[in-house]
Structure formats: structure tokens, C-alpha cells
Amino acid sequence: MKSELVLYNTLTRKKELFKPIKPPFVGMYVCGPTVYGDPHLGHARPAITFDLLFRYLRAQGYKVRYVRNITDVGHLQNDADDGEDKLAVKARLENLEPMEVAQFYTDRYHRAMDELNVLPPSIEPHASGHIMEQIDLVQEILDKGYAYESNGSVYFDVEKYAESHGYGELSGRKIDDMISNTRDLDGQSDKRRPLDFALWKKASPEHIMRWKAPWSVGFPGWHLECSAMSVKYLGEEFDIHGGGMDLMFPHHECEIAQNTAASGHGAARYWVHNNMITINGQKMGKSLGNFITLEELFSGNHKMLVQAYSPMVIRFFILQAHYRSTLDFSNEALQAAEKGLDRLIAAIETIDKIVPGERSTVDVADLEKRCCDAMDDDLNSPMVISALFDWVRIINQLHDGTQTISAADLESLRGIVHRFAFDILGLRDDMCTGKNDLVGPLVEMLLDMRQQAKADKDWATSDKIRDGLTRIGIEVRDRKDGYDWSVK
């Protein structure tokens, strides 16, 4: 298989031609959600970015094993080595078993992903279900001499590792700068040096999530799960590791160090990171009052939102920016995305109404080439959308007869547009046009009755149907060969 896909590799800071280790198989690991709160806007971007990559690789004929984990243990307050487990805090506050909390929010995450038309990964391992693998990895790192035990906890020895390996290469940090920028330990910690990070933590008496290990009854450090589970399901070397840019340091840097310490080399060849979302120019955060859950977006139930936005509008909005660019959410930007998506979907529906002619005055192959070139160029979804929009105009010209298309070209136009808009960008023709399961057929039925009334010169009935539809927000436009309708 000949791949033309070029991906930006964070590790080398270069765009590289994507070459899988064992084509046609591709192994892809993406850091998934933590499950101690409602899925929010911050979850949508990585999920959609790697869904786009997953869909495109599959469309290229690759057999992709896509692993996306669920972090249900070890994620401590402030992402630090000390403090309570965030999931356990939630469980204690709500008087629940921690796994009840994890299940509850995992289910909500899945529902939100379904709404966003994000395909489920091939494997979705839970950190809490892979404690044995994590203990084994800690032991391997200890055996290789890159970790030490201290009062029942085990820490990764960053400075020792950095003597012979490039700690900081992924995030572009220099070990000397990191050392001089850290404060000295206050004497309370079991760590030898500030940069060291926990592989295993001894549980304090009040800590409820705990497992037996050779060093203590405790729990794994947060970075460990991804190192252990990616290798378990994808092998010691695999193709792609993805996640949000906020995970690059320390999480991904620590993952590379752990895998390298254990096996002598890093596990992933291509590191792919999506950029962050801001809201009205600000970072999203609970303390800033601009934290928006996906459910609030879909319902419009948040003080910052002037209306509800359908999951497809959110998806389309995210795809309108390149995944490595920042993306700013605002009502104006979302409303513009909604209008754009409506136009695109309306044009896709118009394709079915085009009457083919003898010959084509349009070049369908050019659309396919532009879409493929854009996707191959580091998943440039905004360029795909811009090519599709150029064709919205052409489709309307083909419909009103100012341009013509042959039957064969019309068939391939339909195929190309459906492939890129629905299969690869993952858009769905529903919510925004209102032409979902029932509305569409009902409107079509009424408009057929109106056509009959017009044919019978029963103008009163014809007007009654059109005015009734207008009142409920459905605009009807008469054309010489029938009619068109859309939701206003």
C-alpha cells in the first residue's frame, strides 16, 4: 500500500511521510478521558482529531487497532505526585464506590462521543483493570536501575535517566533548565529530587483505591498506565501516539522515559498532538466560570451560550480549524459554523436532485484531488471543507442548469462528497437541517400533496400547506422542476 499521508511528528518537529511498521496494520494509542466529571468541551477536540485520523487511515485501507484508555485511577489533585485521587474525592463527596463514579462518567462520555459521531476505539482499556501490567513495568524499570524505592513508594530517577537519554526531547525542554527551575523539596517528600516522578505510591490510610504490590499497598502513578497499556495491546513498538498538547509534558515525556528505561527504546514512532480550545480568548477553567460541558452545549443551558448547538455544529466547528491551530469558541463563531454546515448539507442533498446531461462542464476529479491532497497534508480538514464549499456553488449551478454534468460524473461527485463529508470528516445529515428521521419524510409528504394541489389548480390548499410550513420554520422555494425546502 502506498501512503501519501504526511503527519507532523512532535518528536522530530517535522512533517514526515507516514510509514506504518507493519502495513496494512496500524497501531494507534490515544490518551483518553479521566472519568470523574462530565465530558466537556476540552474532551471534544482530541476525540474528534483522532477520530479524523482513525477514519482517514481506514479510508486508505489500513487495518487500524485504535486503543484509547480510560483513566480511572492515579490522577491526583493538581496532576502532582501528592494529594488525593480525583476520582476518590468525587466518590467520597457523593458517597459512592469509586467504580460507580467511573462507570457513571464513562457512560456519559460514551453518549457524548456518539452524539459527536466519534467512532468507538477498537480497545478501551481501563487503568484500574491493568494494575498487574503496571506493577510489572515498575519492576522492570527498577531492575534496569532507573527507579528507586522510598518508604514503600517507587520513583523514576529522572536525572540518572537523563545522563544517557534525552529527557525533554518531546516537549523541547532542557534538563538543566528544568533542574534550575524547580524548587527544592521541602523535606516532606519521599522523592530524592524534585524532577523525579512517582511510578508507585504507597497509599495513606484514608486512600480508598489501593492494590497490593511488592513495595506497599498503594496505587500506580498516573503516567504509568499509558506506557503499560499501549505496549500490552500494540507491542513494544507501535505507529502513532496521540493526545492533547497539554499532555506533552509531563505525561508523554514521562511515558517515553518509562518505556525507554524498560525496553531500551521509545514505544511510539509518530507523536501527534492537537492544540487547545479557548473560550472568548481565555483558557477554559472552572475558576474562570467558562467551563462548558458538552451537555450544556447541546442544550444551550449555560449562561455564556445564547442558544443550543447541535453536536454536528460542534464537530464541524472543530474541523474548520487545523488540529494544530488554537481554536476559540464564541457564540458568533458557532453560529457561523451552523450556517456553513446547513449550506453544505443542503448542497449535498441537492446533488440527488441534479438531472444529468450529455457531457460535463465541471471537473469532478479536481474536487477529489483537492480533498485527498488536503487530508494527506497533515489532516488539513479546513482545506477539505474549503474545497467542498467551492463545490457548493458548483452543485447549485448544476442544479439550476448553468452548468452540466454527465451521469457518470454525477455518480462520482455524489461518491466523493459523501466519502469526504460523511465517512472522513464524520459529519452527519441530521440535527442542523432538521431533516432527521421523521421531519424529512413528513415535509416531503406535505410538499408532494402541495404539488398535486398545484397541478389541480387548487391554489388555496397549496398556499395553506406552504404557509403552514413557513409558520413552523420551514422555508419552501418553488423551482421550475419542483421544489426545495430548508429549515430556517
The residue ranges that bind Zn ion (CB under 5 A) are: 31, 226
Q: Which is nearer to Zn ion, 7 or 247 (CB)?
A: 247
What values do phi and psi take at 356, rounded to 5? -70, 155
CA dihedral 11, 15, 21, 27 (to 10 degrees): 70
Residue 226 Cβ vs Zn ion, minimum distance, rounded to whole Å = 3
Q: Which is nearer to Zn ion, 226 or 395 (CB)?
A: 226
Q: Which is nearer to Zn ion, 260 or 381 (CB)?
A: 260
Q: Which is nearer to Zn ion, 256 or 347 (CB)?
A: 256
| DSSP label at residue 474 | E
Burial of 285 (0-12, 13-18, 19+ CB in 10 A): exposed
Going by C-alpha positions, the residue among 339, 366, 354 that lies closest to residue 400 is 354
Residue 167 Cβ vs Zn ion, minimum distance, rounded to whole Å = 17
Residue 32 Cβ vs Zn ion, minimum distance, rounded to whole Å = 8
Single-letter amino acid code for the residue at 429 = D
Residue 185 CA to residue 295 CA, distance in Å, equals 42
Residue 233 Cβ vs Zn ion, minimum distance, rounded to whole Å = 13
Q: In what order do the strands lie in the sheet with 211-212?
A: 147-150, 153-156, 197-202, 217-220, 211-212
Q: Which is nearer to Zn ion, 247 or 427 (CB)?
A: 247
Cβ density class 423-443: b for 16+ within 10 Å, e for less: ebbbbbbbbbbbbeeeebeeb
Q: Which helix (H) or strand (E) holds 178?
A: helix 175-181
Q: Which is nearer to Zn ion, 266 or 434 (CB)?
A: 266
Single-letter amino acid code for the residue at 57 = L
Residue 88 Cβ vs Zn ion, minimum distance, rounded to whole Å = 19
Check if the beta carbon of residue 50 is closer than 8 Å to that of residue 62.
no
Q: Which is nearer to Zn ion, 87 or 416 (CB)?
A: 87
Residue 126 Cβ vs Zn ion, minimum distance, rounded to whole Å = 13
Residue 308 Cβ vs Zn ion, minimum distance, rounded to whole Å = 32
